[in-house]
Amino acid sequence: MPVDFYSKLTNARGVYTFRDFVLVPGRSDVEPSKVDLSINLTKQIHLNLPLVSSPMDTVTESDMAIALAREGGLGIIHRNMPIEEQVENAKRVKRAESFIIRDVVTITPDQKISDALELMHNKSISGLPVVSDGDRIVGILTKRDVNFADPNVSVREAMTSEVIVAGPEVTIEEAKKIMNKRKVEKLPVVDKNRKLMGLITIKDVYSRERFPLATRDSQGRLLVGAAVSPYDIERAKALEKHVDLLVSDVAHFHNTNILEAAKKLTNEVFVEFIAGNLGTIEGTKDTIEALDGHVAGIRAGVGSGSICVTSEVTKAGAPTLFAVSQIAVALQELGVEIPIIADGGIRAAGDGALALAAGASAIMMGNVFAGCTESPGGLIKIGGKYYKPYRGMGSMASRQKRFAMDRYNQPAKGIAEGVEGVVPYRGDVSTVVEEFASGLRASFGYAGATSVKDLWQKAKFGAVTAAGVDEMRPHSIILPGEEKI
Ligand code: XMP
- Separation of CA 208 and ligand 1 centre (Å): 33
Identify the pLDDT of residue 405: 58
Give the residues across from 245 on adjacent strands.
225, 272
Helices and strands in the chain, H and E counts? 19, 19
CATH number of 113-205, picked from 3.10.580.10, 3.40.50.2300, 1.10.3720.10, 3.40.50.300: 3.10.580.10
pLDDT of residue 408: 47
Centre of ligand 1 from the C-alpha of residue 330, in Å: 23
Does any ligand 1 atom lie closer than 6 A to the CB of residue 393? yes
All CATH 3.10.580.10 domain ranges in the chain, comma separated: 113-205
Which residues in the chain show pLDDT less than 70?
A: 403-414, 484-485
Strands 127-132 and 385-391: unpaired
- Closest Cα to residue 140, out of 123, 158, 153? 158
pLDDT in tens, 381-427: 999 999 999 999 988 888 888 765 554 445 555 677 889 999 999 99
Does the beta carbon of 274 lie inside 6 Å of ligand 1?
no
What pLDDT does 416 receive?
77
Q: Which atom of ligand 1 is nearest to the CA of 303?
A: 15
Spatial separation of the C-alpha atoms in residues 407 and 371, rounded to whole Å: 30
Residue 108: per-residue pLDDT: 95
pTM for this predicted structure: 0.88
Q: Are strands 297-300 and 340-343 parallel, antiparallel or unpaired?
A: parallel
**Which pLDDT belongs to residue 404?**
55
57 lines ligand 1 (CB under 6 A): no
CATH 3.20.20.70 placement within the chain? 5-97+213-471
How distant, in Å, are the alpha carbons of 104, 138, 178, 311, 377 from that of 175? 17, 20, 5, 55, 38
pLDDT at residue number 6:
94
As annotated, the active-site residues are 308, 407
Q: Is 333 helix (H, G, I), strand (E, B) or coil?
A: helix
Beta carbon of 58 within 6 Å of any ligand 1 atom: no
Question: Alpha carbon of 272 to those of 227, 245, 338: distances in Å?
Answer: 12, 5, 12
Give the Å distance between the CA of 356 and the centre of ligand 1: 19
> Considering the domain 5-97+213-471 in this protein, what is its CATH number?
3.20.20.70
Cα gap 300→278, rounded to integer Å: 5
Q: Is 395 in the pocket of ligand 1 (CB under 6 A)?
A: yes
DSSP state of 269: -
Residue 115: which of 105, 100, 104, 101 has the closest Cα? 105
- Rg of the chain over Cα atoms, rounded to whole angstroms, equals 26
